[in-house]
Amino acid sequence: MPPFVHPEHPQFADDSERVAWEALKAGLRDDDVLLHGVRFTDPRDGDVEIDLLVLMPDAGAVVIEVKGGHVTYSNGSFQQTGADGTHPIDPLNQAMKGMYALKRFLESRPHWSRGKVRATWMACFPYTEVTHDMGPQGRRDVLIGKSDVPQIVQLAWNRLWDPALTLAAPRTPWVDAVLEHLLGTWDQPGEIAARSAARLQHVDQLTETQARVLGLIAQNRRFEITGSAGTGKTWLAMEQARRWSEAGERVCFVSYGRGVASSVSHAMAELPARSQPAFIGTFHQLGWTWGVMAGPDAGSQFWETDAPQRMLEAARGLADDQRFTAFVVDEAQDFADSWWPALLASAASDDYRLAVMRDDEQAVFTQRRGRPEVPLVPVTLNEHIALLTTQHRHPVQVESSDDKAAYWEDFWGNDVFYSTVAGFKGLERPVVVLAIDGFHEGVDPRSVLYAGMSRARDLLIVVGDSAELEAVVGGKLMRRLQRGAVVLPPTD
C-alpha cells in the first residue's frame, strides 16, 4: 500500500510544492507519512505553517521548506526571482523555526509520552540548480536542488542520519501519536474533515429538529444543549460558532478532546475567514497561546489546579484585541470546575455569549459537574435512530407499514424509524442499530451488511452473533468493526 498522505488532494501555493510533493509521494515507503500545509500555533513564534512534513517511523521527522522560482544567495541573504520580480526570502530560517516549533508543540502536549522528537530540516528549490553550499547555514546536504528532486526521499533519509543529529533513533511507536496531535482522530482524517465541512455548508443534512434548534434559541445569549451520541451536538456547536463569527463576534471554540478540536479546526478551515472562530482547540491549548505550558513532569495537579490558576492570571492581563465576545464549549461534561473561571476571564465584557454542549452519559470524570456558575437556558436534543434488520421486518414496521404514505412520513417525524436494510437504501440517520437476523436467499450477505453499516452518520451499533458476523465479513474486517462499533450479542 502507498504511504499515508494528507490531504489527499493538496491545494499547492505554487507548482514548486507540487513537484516536491509528487517526488516524495512516489519514493516514500509504505509506513512513511507525508503531510502538506501543517498548521499549528506556537507560543513563541505564533502561527506556524510547514510546507511539507515527512515522518519516517524508524528515523524521525523532516521539515521541508519549498521555494519556487530561481533562488540565489549573495551578500549574506537569499533572493528569489520569479514572474513578479526579485525579492528577499529566508528559507533556511523558516525551515529551522518550523522544526523547532513542531518539537515544542508536540513535546509540550498533555499526555505526550514519546520523549524528544527526532527531527531535522531541509530547503527545497525545485527550479534552481544547486551545486554548492549557499551561505554558512546552507550546507549542501540541507539543500534540495532541481537535479536532486528525484532523490529527495534518499536525501531526507540521509539528513536524518547525519551524525550531528545526536538523538537516538525512535524505539517506540510515535508517528500515530504525531498524527493524532496534528490531525485529530486520524483513521480517515480526509473523510472526517470533508464530512465536517460538508455539514457546515449544508445544514439541511441535519434532522429537521436539529436545524430548527439554533433558530429557536437565537435570542438567548447563554444556553446549554444536552443530547446523547448521534444527536448532532458538535455539528450544532460548529454552526453556532459560524453564525456568531459572521455576526462579528470574536468566538472561542473549546472542546475537551483533542480529536474533536482538530477535526473541527480542519473542517472550519474551509470556510471564509469571517466565518471562522478566533480560536479552536482544547482548554489547555488555549493556555499555550497565553504562554501557560506544561513542564516535563506535569501531572494531574498541574492540569486541575496550577494550569487553570496560571491561565486565570494570564487571562486577566490579555489585551482588548485578544479577548473574546462569545464562547462555544463542546464536550462540557468533562470540563473541570476550575477551568470555567479561567476561560470566562478572557471575555471582553460581562455581556459575552455562551453556548455549552454536553452529554452526561459520556462523562469521563464523574466528579466533574461541567457547568459554569452562570445561568443557562436548557435545550434537549432528541436522538434520531434507525433500527434496520437484514431479513425480516421488525414487528413495529409490520404494524405501521400498511399505510405506505404514513409510514414514510414517520421517517421525518419520529425519533425512531424501523426498516429493513433494503428499504433504507439511500437514507441516513445519525444513529443506526443494525440487527442481523439472517439473509434472503440469492443475496450477497457482505453487500447487505455494507449497505446497512454505511447508513449511520455518527454512531453504528451492530446486534448479532459475533461468530456468524465474522463468517460473513472475515477476521480483518471484524476486528476493525469491533474497534469502531458496539457489537452486542442477540437477545430474545
Question: Among 157-161, 182-186, 250-254, 320-324, whose mean pLDDT is lowest?
Answer: 182-186
SS3 per residue for the chain: CCCEEECCCCCCCCHHHHHHHHHHHHHCCCCCEEEEEEEEEECCCEEEEEEEEEEECCCEEEEEEECCCEEEEECCEEEEEECCEEEEECHHHHHHHHHHHHHHHHHCCCCCCCCCCCEEEEEECCCCCCCCCCCCCCCHHHEECHHHHHHHHHHHHHHHCCCCCCCCCCCCCCHHHHHHHHHCCCCCHHHHHHHHHHHHHCHHHCCHHHHHHHHHCCCCCEEEEECCCCCCHHHHHHHHHHHHHHCCCCEEEEECCHHHHHHHHHHHCCCCHHHCCCEEEEHHHHHHHCCCCCCCCCCHHHHHHHHHHHHHHHHHCCCHHHCECEEEEECHHHCCCCHHHHHHCCECCCCCEEEEEECHHHCCCCCCCCCCCCCCEEEECCCCEEEEECCCCCHHHHHHCCCHHHHHHHHHHCCEEEEECHHHCCCCEEEEEEECCCCCCCCCHHHHHHHHHCCEEEEEEEECCHHHHHHHHCHHHHHHHHHHCEEECCCC
Those residues with Cβ within 8 angstroms of residue 393's Cβ, 6 or more apart along the chain or in another chain:
401, 418, 420
Those residues with Cβ within 8 angstroms of residue 69's Cβ, 6 or more apart along the chain or in another chain:
16, 80, 81, 82, 83, 127, 128
Q: Find, among 481, 476, 456, the residue nearest to 229 by Cα.
A: 456
pLDDT at 434 over 80: yes
Euclidean distance between CA atoms 49 and 238, whole angstroms? 24
Query: Which phi and psi angles does 138 have, rounded to 5°?
Result: -90, 60
| Rounded-to-10 torsion of CA 272, 33, 108, 186 | 60
Strands 70-74 and 77-82: antiparallel
Q: Find, among 402, 403, 393, 398, the residue nearest to 424 by Cα.
A: 393
pLDDT at 102 over 70: yes
pLDDT at 139 over 90: yes
> What is the predicted pLDDT for the residue at 28?
92
Note the pLDDT tens digit of each residue in 35-62: 999 998 887 888 899 999 999 998 999 9
pLDDT at 245 over 60: yes
The band of 477, judged by pLDDT with boundaries at 50, 70 and 90, is low
Mean pLDDT of 361-373: 69
> What is the predicted pLDDT for the residue at 394?
86
> What is the predicted pLDDT for the residue at 153?
95
- HSE-CB at 347 with a 13 A cutoff on CA atoms is 15
Query: Which phi and psi angles does 333 have, rounded to 5°?
Result: -60, -20
> What is the predicted pLDDT for the residue at 189?
41
pLDDT at 368 over 70: no
Note the pLDDT tens digit of each residue in 302-313: 878 888 999 999
Euclidean distance between CA atoms 229 and 382, whole angstroms? 10
